[in-house]
């Protein structure tokens, strides 16, 4: 065990570096000797700076002076002398062994995966239902107006058709209950093609193209129930909350990496959000199936409309990068529930 | 306990000065005080290592997540200590003295305000502009506090840095120039704001009692932005050129661009075009961003001085660009595990390109007594990503 060690002494008044010799005395004092300079401090009053990586050790003295040294043994002796060897070095030990690093990698991966798969969605669900309905309604303000500007043009459906479908819609909302101001709107979809949307303000939009694609009203009822499922389960609010949760989690990991490299964090965030969207679609499907069965409407209607939608769009299933689960998977789910 | 570490540790900088139990400089590297009279430049050096920092980083990330973010204040201090402690000038390294508790307090305040903001934006959208107006008027205070906190918790040779910028000048710079002057001139005066922002940050800084100097003409800032703007215009012209060529290309294939959506060939052409246009255009604007950042950083450092000592920064745009791009790719393909490596190599390059042209040796700086600064400004400016101009 070394009792003396070379060090750099700085008196805290000027930037002068004093090459010095540190001695740990037997009488519980630490002595600093340099050319034209000699100091002594009680060991108990020396503050040992936190040890990080292999940066020099810092000793801070009560009068504002400081010593820098590189001798591990001396430092260990000093902290033993102070009788609090543990705490200051525990973090450094955690940070300097490959084994601990590997444990930290595994632990972080498990916690992040668990939080993304279960924690964030569960918390968001709780919060979404704890928040007042008005909060969810506020999310959708102006959404229809914006869509009318960009996507839609006025519906070309006849009044009779519209009011017939509205009757179905009202039956579904009656079943859903609650004080939500549900409303059904018809629009010509344009590039949105055959589609239906649920806006958080309680408005469900159905495109003319979808009405024409359907072969009977039961198919439309299935779609309407699906959209209502989104509203009943407060998917819009949960989406907002989940995205914020993911952003917070990623910020904790990526930390203060410069904004340009945080670009790299955007991709995983998008993938996670798409995964959430698909989970919501399945939840809305379940709501629709539940309604159809309660009303004794053959669920096959839902499956056949989905199949026709898929054929109409003429696109391949993109599974992983899509906001919706593959249609085949959804149809199989429906058929599994009710053969 | 950590004897393995002491073997691995790079002591080269110390060993230059260590000789047995005394401190003697080796003749092989006389860069330090003997040569100071000749005013040879002292270069900053960085000794951090990716492998070593990886272990620190992953433990910090893990503890931050397990403590629901509370540990992040300790993580910040340890990380900054690591980077400062591995930044050397004339055989001494820098020290970061912030207390984790102060940072935690700042982060809690920032978190509460950020949460309030998120609630306002989502639940009461008309409230958002009010929030931004309040934030705008708080901005000068925030910047002053953040710069003070950072400066006063940075020390070199046990002498702390200081920041003495006043609220009045901060208001002039951040509200007068950043908002009003930039709006009135439709953005044309933005370089003047950047100039004043840098001047504010540098000229009010001090090392102990020794103030920083900053002498540069605002015109230099304008020329940097003028070149970048020229580049941006070229990029847009290029974009139109590609569109024009693509339309002609479609026409030559016998596709009428107006009713093209039915033709499957046009879908393929559009897809290829989107790739051909967006990727180089994105890279080009990314390059322009890096160009501005790097050139301004050099400009500021090269005209800053500490007392009589001049500073010099030799960052190269191409090198920075390649560092940023390779870092982004490495982080993406390693699921984030390459973050420590990326940070270390970026820090190493930045530190190594800075040097100090001393007028005398560095022993005569006098410390000043400075009060503690709360970390609320630091926490908030971090949370809102305020550009401190450094």
Prediction ipTM score: 0.79
CA B181 to chain centre: 25
* Residue whose entry in the numeric block shows the structure tokens 């970061």: B96
Q: Please give, rounded to a whole number of angstroms, the shortest distance from the CA of A55 to a CA of chain B.
A: 5
pTM attached to this predicted model: 0.79
Q: Are A30 and B42 in contact (CB under 8 A)?
A: no
Query: Shortest Cα distance from A95 to chain B (angstroms)?
Result: 5
Calculate the average pLDDT of chain A: 82
CB distance A282 to A325 below 8 Å = yes
Residue A259 CA to residue A237 CA, distance in Å, equals: 28
User: What percent of chain A lies above the pLDDT cut of 90?
Assistant: 16
Q: How far is A252 from chain B (nearest CA, A)?
A: 7
Mean pLDDT value across residues B336-361: 92
- What's the pLDDT tens digit per position in A188-216? 887 777 888 888 888 888 988 888 888 88
pLDDT (average), residues A285-313: 83
pLDDT digits 0-9 by tens, A165-194? 999 998 888 888 777 788 898 988 877 778
A2 in Cβ contact with A16 (< 8 Å): no
User: Which of A7, A63, A256, A260 has the highest number of chain B CBs within 10 A, making it the mutation to test binding with B?
Assistant: A260
Mean pLDDT throughout A218-224? 89
Contact state of B5 with A96 under an 8 Å Cβ cutoff: yes
- What SS3 state is found at B224? helix
DSSP alpha helix (H) spans, B153-217:
167-171, 182-184, 190-203
Model pLDDT for residues B152-197, shown as the tens digit of each residue: 999 999 999 999 999 999 999 999 998 899 999 998 999 999 999 9
For the sheet with A153-154, list strands across it: A153-154, A183-188, A203-207, A196-198
pLDDT, greater one: A273 or A154: A154
Q: Of A56, A96, A141, which has the smallest distance from its Cβ to B125's Cβ?
A: A141
From B4, B17, B331, residue closest to A264, measured CB to CB: B331
Cβ–Cβ contact A135 with B under 8 A: yes
Q: Is A6 in contact with B22 (Cβ distance < 8 A)?
A: yes
**Which of A94-103, B56-65, B163-172, B241-250 shows the lowest mean pLDDT across its residues?**
B241-250
Q: Name every chain B residue with its beta carbon within 8 A of the beta carbon of A248.
A: 69
Domain range summary for chain B, segments of one domain joined by +:
217-302
| Contacting residues of B for A14, CB less than 8 Å apart | 159, 208, 363-367
Nearest to A232 by CA among A266, A267, A280, A270: A280
Of A25, A23, A16, A20, whose CA–CA distance to A7 is shortest? A20
Name which of A13, A21, A264 is nearest B367 (Cβ-Cβ). A13
Q: Which domains does chain A have, with CATH numbers?
A: 4-96 (2.30.29.160), 114-337 (no CATH)
Buried b / exposed e along A285-322 (16+ C-beta atoms within 10 A): bbbbbebbeeeebebbbbbbbbeebbeeeeeeeeeeee
Predicted confidence (pLDDT) at residue B390 exceeds the cutoff of 70:
no
End-to-end C-alpha distance for chain A, whole angstroms: 80
A271 Cβ under 8 Å from any chain B Cβ: no
The Cβ of residue A268 has, within 10 Å, a number of other Cβ atoms equal to 18
Instruction: Give me the residue from A50, A66, A105 closest to B78, CB to CB.
Output: A50
């Amino acid at each position: 065990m070394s009792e003396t060690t070379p060090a750099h002494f700085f008196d805290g008044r000027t930037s002068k570096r004093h090459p010095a010799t540190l001695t740990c005395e037997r009488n519980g004092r630490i002595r600093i000797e340099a050319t034209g300079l000699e100091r002594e401090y009680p060991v108990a009053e020396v503050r040992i700076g936190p040890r990080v990586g292999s940066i020099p050790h810092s000793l801070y003295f009560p009068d504002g002076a400081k010593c820098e040294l590189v001798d591990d043994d001396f430092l260990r002796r000093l902290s033993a002398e102070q009788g609090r060897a543990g705490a200051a070095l525990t973090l450094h030990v955690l940070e300097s062994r490959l084994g601990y690093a590997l444990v930290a990698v595994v632990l972080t991966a498990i916690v992040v995966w668990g939080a993304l798969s279960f924690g964030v969605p569960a918390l968001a669900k709780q919060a979404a239902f704890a928040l007042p309905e008005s909060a969810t309604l506020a999310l959708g303000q102006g959404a229809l107006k914006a869509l009318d500007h960009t996507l839609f043009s006025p519906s070309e459906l006849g009044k009779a058709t519209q009011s017939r479908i509205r009757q179905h819609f009202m039956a579904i909302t009656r079943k859903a209950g609650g004080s939500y101001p549900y409303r059904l709107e018809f629009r010509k979809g344009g590039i949105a093609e055959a589609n239906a949307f649920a806006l958080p303000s309680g408005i469900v939009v159905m495109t003319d193209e979808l009405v024409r694609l359907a072969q009977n009203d039961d198919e439309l009822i299935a779609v309407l129930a699906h959209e209502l499922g989104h509203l009943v389960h407060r998917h819009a609010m949960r989406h907002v909350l989940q995205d914020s949760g993911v952003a917070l989690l990623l910020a904790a990991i990526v930390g203060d990496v410069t904004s340009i490299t945080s670009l790299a964090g955007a991709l995983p965030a998008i993938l996670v959000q798409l995964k959430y969207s698909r989970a919501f679609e399945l939840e809305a499907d379940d709501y629709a199936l539940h309604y159809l069965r309660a009303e004794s409407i053959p669920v096959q209607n839902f499956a056949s409309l989905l199949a026709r939608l898929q054929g109409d769009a003429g696109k391949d299933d993109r599974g992983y990068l899509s906001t919706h689960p593959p249609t085949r998977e959804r149809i199989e789910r429906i058929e599994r529930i009710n053969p | 306990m950590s004897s393995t570490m002491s073997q691995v540790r790079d002591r080269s900088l110390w060993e230059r000065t260590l000789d047995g139990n005394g401190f003697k400089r080796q003749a092989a590297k006389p860069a330090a005080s003997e040569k100071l009279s000749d005013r040879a430049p002292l270069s900053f050096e960085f000794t951090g290592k990716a492998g070593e920092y990886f272990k620190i980083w992953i433990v910090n990330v893990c503890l931050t997540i397990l403590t629901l973010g509370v540990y992040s204040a300790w993580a910040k201090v340890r990380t900054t200590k690591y980077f400062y402690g591995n930044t050397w000038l004339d055989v001494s390294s820098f020290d970061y003295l912030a207390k984790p508790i102060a940072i935690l307090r700042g982060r809690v305040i920032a978190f509460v305000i950020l949460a309030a903001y998120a609630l306002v934006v989502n639940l009461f959208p008309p409230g958002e502009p009010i929030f931004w107006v309040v934030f705008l008027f708080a901005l000068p205070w925030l910047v002053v506090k953040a710069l003070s906190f950072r400066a006063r918790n940075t020390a070199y040779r046990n002498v702390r840095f200081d920041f003495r910028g006043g609220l009045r000048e901060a208001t002039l710079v951040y509200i007068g120039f950043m908002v009003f002057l930039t709006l009135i001139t439709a953005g044309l005066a933005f370089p003047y704001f950047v100039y004043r922002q840098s001047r504010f940050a540098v000229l009010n800084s001090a090392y102990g009692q020794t103030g920083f100097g900053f002498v540069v003409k605002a015109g230099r800032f304008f020329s940097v932005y003028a070149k970048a703007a020229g580049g941006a215009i070229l990029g847009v012209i290029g974009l139109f050129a590609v569109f024009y060529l693509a339309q002609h290309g479609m026409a030559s294939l016998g596709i009428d661009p107006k009713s093209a959506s039915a033709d499957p060939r046009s879908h393929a052409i559009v897809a290829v075009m989107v790739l051909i246009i967006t990727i180089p255009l994105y890279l080009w604007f990314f390059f322009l961003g890096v160009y501005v950042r790097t050139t301004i950083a050099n400009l500021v450092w090269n005209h800053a001085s500490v007392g009589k000592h001049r500073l010099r920064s030799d960052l190269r745009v191409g090198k920075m660009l390649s560092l940023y791009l390779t870092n982004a790719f490495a982080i993406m393909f390693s699921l984030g595990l390459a973050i420590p490596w990326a940070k270390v190599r970026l820090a190493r390059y930045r530190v190594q390109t800075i040097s100090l042209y001393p007028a005398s040796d560095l022993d005569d700086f006098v410390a000043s007594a400075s009060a503690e600064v709360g970390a609320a400004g630091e926490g908030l400016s971090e949370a809102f990503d305020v550009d401190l101009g450094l």
